[in-house]
């Protein structure tokens, strides 16, 4: 766009701040260029205490604050001073008749609504921390950027100082237009948080109009491929994951990381390891021994695990850190790390080390954006219990076997559809994922099992399917491979045939009341 000069001399600045940090360098420069300052409340007191001249807004408007401070800056003299078009003769005529003065610079930031939400639970207190005057002034100044400069973040002070210096107490049009863009970004983001607060109270995840907002965490080097641009945003003040070491996370790292957390956060508390590759699990185990749990997850598919993501649903100790360090992984996730393990792991410069102990697994909705549309759904976070399943075969599972089947089904819902998971005890031994045909997923899971597992004697192998088998051929393939019990959703027109086959072959069959596609 280039720099369009069209400079505007700053003669009067209005400053009203919740965040009063880093203000002195700006005040020094305003004093240098003999810019008058008007302000209110705590900001007025702060500026005066720092030794700078300042006129209180109530004296500027000849109107006292009312309604316990709810109305301070909502005054025609303030908004006419901001909104009047300097080259509009009618505007200037009205300004003269009313004895209104121009306001050329607006420096405002808002009540910290997001911070208040974290600290307060009382609805009335939260409502009182919704800023009205601040966003109104910022929007007014941004609308009139041709004549007015607007600053709404202390991080912008240095750029304002530089622009004032370059233009000898004025600002140029390109700068003001970019600041207007930033201002509308800030007001829209602020309003979105207020809307989301009310929307959460009403428990309406799918309103008639929706607002999605996020803060930039970082721009990744590129997207899924080098020709794509990508970035990560957080919907909270801070991202929940904390990187403790290693290279910058890539877009693909983030995608795999989220898939890993979906699984590991659904495992029993402080128990279990999941290994992910290309957003799919290649091994999951919940052995009570942390090292055995890792080894079992790795043994499920050691070839695919290479260069993948390891997610531990517990605090990592030095013993397991040594074991993991023997193999190349891109990302290691855990619910914290002891000092010795961190010291060891940081020696591997390419290993991204992630602390997930503060991750909130109960986020509200998932988004998928394509072709200028956004798909929204709440998350598949059902906590399974035995009442969610129905035993439909003549041969009944023991309580322990049913628990093992539920483990397999829980893993299965985190595998890309069509999904088949084969388990033994509480570990995966074969995973088939992402196939258009369910029987193809059966074949892949069986082939993985036969490739990497060495069985001795009788094995009690279990299998889970994320959706129903449309025909008998799928469950038949599993039974032929040695599976003794199957868990799957009901709903096929051939359910009776599936049950009949299970009974003929002495296979335990359990139906789920819910389906769990993961596309």
365 has pLDDT over 80: no
Q: Tell me if 179 is assigned to some domain.
A: yes
User: Could you tell me which of 504, 501, 446, 492 has the C-alpha nearest to residue 472?
Assistant: 501
Does 477 sit behind a cis peptide bond, omega within 30 degrees of 0 on the bond before it?
no
Q: Tell me if 209 is assigned to some domain.
A: no
Whether residues 239 and 198 fall in one domain: no
pLDDT given for residue 344 in this prediction:
96
In whole angstroms, give the CA distance from residue 323 to residue 77.
70
**pLDDT category, 472, cuts 50, 70, 90?**
very high
Distances (CA, A) of 93 to 75, 82, 84, 89, 210: 19, 15, 10, 6, 42
**How do strand 149-151 and strand 105-108 relate by DSSP bridges?**
parallel
User: Could you tell me which of 293, 331, 326 has the C-alpha nearest to residue 309?
Assistant: 331
pLDDT given for residue 15 in this prediction:
95
Catalogue the active-site residues. 143, 278
Give the percent of the chain with pLDDT over 90.
Answer: 73
- Read off φ and ψ for residue 238, nearest 5 degrees: -130, 150
Q: With 0-12 CB in 10 A as exposed, 13-18 as middle and 19+ as buried, what is 433? A: buried
Structure tokens at 26: 């700006």
Q: Buried b / exposed e across 385-420, counting CB within 10 Å, b at 16+? A: eeeebebbbeeebeeebbebbbbbbbbbbbbbbbbb
Of 355, 378, 394, the residue that ends a domain is 355
- The residue segments making up the domain with residue 329 are 233-355
Whether residues 296 and 416 fall in one domain: no
Whether residues 154 and 107 fall in one domain: yes
Whether residues 275 and 171 fall in one domain: no
Stronger pLDDT, 399 or 113, i.e. the higher one: 399
In whole angstroms, give the CA distance from residue 29 to residue 38.
15
Whether residues 253 and 115 fall in one domain: no
Q: Residues 254-267: pLDDT tens digits? A: 999 999 999 998 89
Distance spanning both ends of the chain, measured CA to CA:
42
**pLDDT category, 458, cuts 50, 70, 90?**
low
What's the rounded mean pLDDT across residues 299-320?
Answer: 96
Whether residues 142 and 29 fall in one domain: yes
Q: Tell me if 226 is assigned to some domain.
A: no
Whether residues 134 and 76 fall in one domain: yes
Of 298, 332, 355, the residue that ends a domain is 355
CATH, residue 78: 3.40.50.1380
Q: Tell me if 223 is assigned to some domain.
A: no
Q: Whole-number mean pLDDT of the chain?
A: 91
In whole angstroms, give the CA distance from residue 296 to residue 269.
18
Q: Tell me if 212 is assigned to some domain.
A: no
1 has pLDDT over 50: no
294 has pLDDT over 90: yes
pLDDT given for residue 245 in this prediction:
94
Whether residues 168 and 311 fall in one domain: no
Q: Tell me if 362 is assigned to some domain.
A: no
Q: Tell me if 381 is assigned to some domain.
A: no
Stronger pLDDT, 369 or 504, i.e. the higher one: 504
Structure tokens at 316: 């990592």
**pLDDT category, 2, cuts 50, 70, 90?**
very low
Beta bridge partners of 377: 366
SS (H, E, C) 327-384: CCCCEEEECCECHHHHHHHCCCCCCEEEECCCCCCCCCEEEEEECCEEEEEECCCCCC
Structure tokens at 439: 């029987």
**How many domains does the chain contain in total?**
3
Q: Residues 310-359: pLDDT tens digits? A: 999 999 999 999 999 999 999 999 999 999 999 999 999 999 999 999 88
76 has pLDDT over 60: yes
Those residues with Cβ within 8 angstroms of residue 226's Cβ, 6 or more apart along the chain or in another chain: none
Instruction: Give me the residue label for tokens 């070839």.
Output: 303
Q: Residues 127-177: pLDDT tens digits? A: 888 888 999 999 999 999 999 999 999 999 999 999 999 999 999 999 999
Q: Residues 6-44: pLDDT tens digits? A: 899 999 999 999 999 999 999 999 999 999 999 988 899
Stronger pLDDT, 383 or 313, i.e. the higher one: 313
- Read off φ and ψ for residue 344, nearest 5 degrees: -70, -50
Q: Residues 414-424: pLDDT tens digits? A: 999 899 999 99
CATH, residue 496: 3.40.140.20
404 has pLDDT over 90: yes
Of 332, 355, 378, the residue that ends a domain is 355
CB-side exposure of 318: number of CA atoms within 13 Å? Answer: 4
Whether residues 348 and 396 fall in one domain: no
Q: Tell me if 93 is assigned to some domain.
A: yes
Whether residues 294 and 408 fall in one domain: no
Whether residues 141 and 290 fall in one domain: no
Whether residues 91 and 197 fall in one domain: yes
């Amino acid at each position: 766009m280039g720099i369009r000069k069209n400079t505007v001399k700053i003669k009067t600045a209005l400053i009203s701040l919740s965040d009063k940090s880093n203000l002195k360098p700006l005040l020094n420069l305003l004093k240098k260029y003999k810019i008058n300052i008007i302000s209110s409340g705590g900001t007025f007191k702060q500026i005066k205490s720092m030794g700078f001249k300042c006129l209180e807004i109530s004296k500027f408007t000849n109107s006292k604050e009312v309604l316990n401070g709810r109305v301070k800056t909502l005054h025609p003299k303030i908004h006419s001073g901001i909104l009047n078009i300097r080259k509009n003769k009618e505007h200037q005529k009205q300004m003269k008749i009313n004895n209104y003065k121009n306001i050329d610079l607006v420096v405002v930031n808002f009540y910290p609504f997001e911070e208040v939400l974290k600290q307060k639970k009382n609805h009335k207190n939260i409502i009182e921390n919704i800023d009205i005057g601040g966003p109104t002034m910022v929007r007014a100044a941004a609308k009139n950027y041709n004549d007015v400069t607007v600053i709404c973040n202390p991080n912008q002070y240095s750029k304002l100082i530089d622009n004032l210096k370059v233009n000898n107490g004025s600002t140029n049009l390109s700068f003001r237009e970019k600041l207007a863009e930033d201002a509308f970004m800030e007001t829209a983001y602020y309003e979105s948080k207020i809307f989301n607060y009310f929307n959460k109270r009403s428990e309406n995840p799918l309103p008639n109009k929706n607002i999605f907002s996020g803060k930039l965490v970082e721009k990744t080097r590129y997207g899924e491929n080098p020709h794509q641009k990508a970035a990560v945003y957080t919907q909270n003040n801070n991202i929940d994951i904390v990187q403790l070491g290693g290279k910058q996370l890539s877009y693909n790292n983030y995608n795999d990381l989220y898939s890993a957390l979906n699984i590991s956060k659904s495992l029993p508390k402080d128990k279990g390891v999941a290994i992910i590759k290309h957003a799919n699990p290649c091994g999951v185990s919940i052995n009570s021994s942390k090292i055995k749990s890792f080894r079992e997850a790795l043994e499920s598919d050691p070839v695919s695990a290479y260069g993948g993501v390891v997610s531990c649903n517990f605090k990592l100790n030095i013993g397991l850190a040594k074991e993991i360090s023997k193999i190349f992984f891109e990302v290691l996730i855990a619910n914290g790390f002891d000092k010795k393990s961190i010291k060891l792991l940081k020696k591997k410069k390419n290993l991204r080390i992630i602390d997930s102990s503060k991750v909130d697994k109960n986020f509200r909705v998932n988004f998928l954006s394509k072709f200028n549309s956004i798909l929204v759904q709440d998350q598949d976070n059902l906590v399974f219990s035995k009442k969610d399943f129905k035993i439909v075969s003549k041969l009944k599972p023991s309580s322990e076997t049913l628990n093992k089947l539920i483990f397999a089904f829980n893993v299965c819902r985190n595998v890309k559809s069509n999904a088949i998971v084969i388990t033994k005890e509480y570990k995966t031994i074969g995973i088939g994922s992402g196939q258009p045909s369910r029987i193809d997923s059966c074949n892949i899971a069986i082939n993985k099992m036969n490739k990497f597992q060495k069985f001795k004697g009788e094995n009690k192998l279990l299998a889970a399917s994320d959706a129903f088998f449309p025909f008998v051929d799928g469950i038949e393939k599993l039974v032929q491979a040695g599976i003794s019990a199957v868990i799957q959703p009901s709903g096929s027109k051939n359910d009776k045939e599936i049950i009949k086959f299970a009974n003929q072959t002495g296979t335990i069959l359990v139906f789920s009341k819910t389906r769990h596609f993961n596309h």
